[in-house]
């Protein structure tokens, strides 16, 4: 069993530890939830375990469908073993239905399906509040290798197909989600970070009930109840 070494980094929702293997890290999912760049925060017992379990499950499904990720295995309630990656400071968002930040930016109404899935890039930078960028910015600023840009877009769309179908079967609409990418130890580019209701919008297909972090962002109901419902339907 891999054991925790030095703490490498602590973020708002996770802690990253080294292990005895320089190519492997442990992600510890914390019981905290934050929104609006950390302006709103709360500790919710059991949230870390739910996100670790949901993320592990989704990474396993993606891996089984040939998507490269940093996932190795779930090693405890709150911990996941992953390949150490050189993370690109880019967030890749795929949107199927209008919601969230795009509403104000483009003057849209919530809940409209896009003619085709929309891929957006954001520069991961808290001080700048993660501004929207385009592929050319990534290349010109060297935020990721040039060959990684089309690959991130194709992978994000593939993930959208796989997860969209998976959730649809469970009566959940995959509205949008965010992925991060990095260079894995074997040199390939893969999905890193987490894939959980913290980083996705999931609506009940029948009732429209929001089952994701928007419950916390906008005080729509008990967060954990939503996450438990997502896990229940996936298992």
Q: Judged by CB under 6 A, which stretch of 29-37, 161-169, 202-210, 222-230 contacts ligand ASP? A: 29-37
By a kind-dependent CB cut-off of 5 to 8 A, residue 34 interacts, out of ligand TMP, ligand ASP, none, with ligand ASP
Quick check: 11 binds ligand ASP (CB under 6 A)? no
**42 is a site residue for ligand ASP (CB under 6 A):** no
Binding mask 205-224 for ligand ASP (x = CB under 6 A): ------------x-------
User: Distance between CA atoms of 76 and 49, rounded to whole angstroms?
Assistant: 9
The whole-angstrom separation of Cα 22 and Cα 143 is 24
Place of tokens 């992600």: 27
DSSP label of 128: G
**Residue 47 interface partner, choices ligand TMP, ligand ASP, none, CB cut-off 5-8 Å depending on type:** none
Please choose, from the candidates 146, 25, 129, the residue with its C-alpha nearest in 3D space to the C-alpha of residue 86. 25
Alpha-carbon distance values, 88 to 9, 13, 121, 143, 233 (Å): 16, 18, 12, 6, 32
Q: Which of the stretches 36-44, 104-112, 117-125, 150-158 binds ligand ASP when contact is defined by CB under 6 A?
A: 36-44
Which residues inside 124-183 make contact with ligand TMP, applying CB under 6 A? 176-178
Does 110 bind ligand ASP (CB under 6 A)? Our answer is no
Structural tokens at position 21: 């293997």
Of residues 185-214, those binding ligand TMP (CB under 6 A): 199-201
Contact 85, 186 (CB under 8 A): no
Interacting residue ranges for ligand TMP, rule: CB under 6 A:
93, 100-102, 176-178, 199-201
């Amino acid at each position: 069993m891999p054991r925790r070494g030095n703490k490498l980094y602590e973020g708002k929702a996770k802690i990253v530890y080294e292990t005895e293997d320089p190519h492997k890290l442990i992600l510890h999912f914390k019981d905290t939830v934050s929104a609006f760049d950390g302006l709103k925060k709360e500790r919710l017992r059991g949230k870390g375990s739910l996100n670790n379990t949901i993320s592990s499950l989704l990474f396993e499904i993606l891996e089984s469908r040939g998507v490269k990720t940093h996932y190795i295995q779930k090693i405890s309630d709150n911990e996941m073993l992953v390949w150490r990656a050189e993370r690109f400071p880019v967030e890749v968002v795929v949107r199927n239905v209008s919601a969230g930040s795009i509403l104000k930016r483009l003057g849209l109404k919530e809940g409209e399906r896009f003619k085709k899935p929309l891929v957006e890039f954001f520069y991961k930078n808290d001080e700048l509040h993660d501004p929207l960028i385009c592929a050319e910015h990534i290349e010109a600023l060297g935020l990721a290798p040039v060959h990684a840009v089309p690959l991130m877009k194709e992978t994000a769309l593939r993930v959208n197909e796989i997860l969209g179908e998976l959730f649809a079967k469970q009566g959940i609409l995959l509205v949008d989600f965010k992925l991060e990418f990095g260079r894995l130890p074997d040199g390939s580019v893969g999905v890193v970070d987490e894939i959980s209701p913290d980083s996705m919008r999931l609506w009940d297909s029948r009732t429209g009930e929001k089952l994701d972090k928007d419950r916390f962002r906008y005080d729509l109901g008990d967060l954990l109840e939503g996450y438990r419902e997502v896990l229940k339907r996936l298992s």
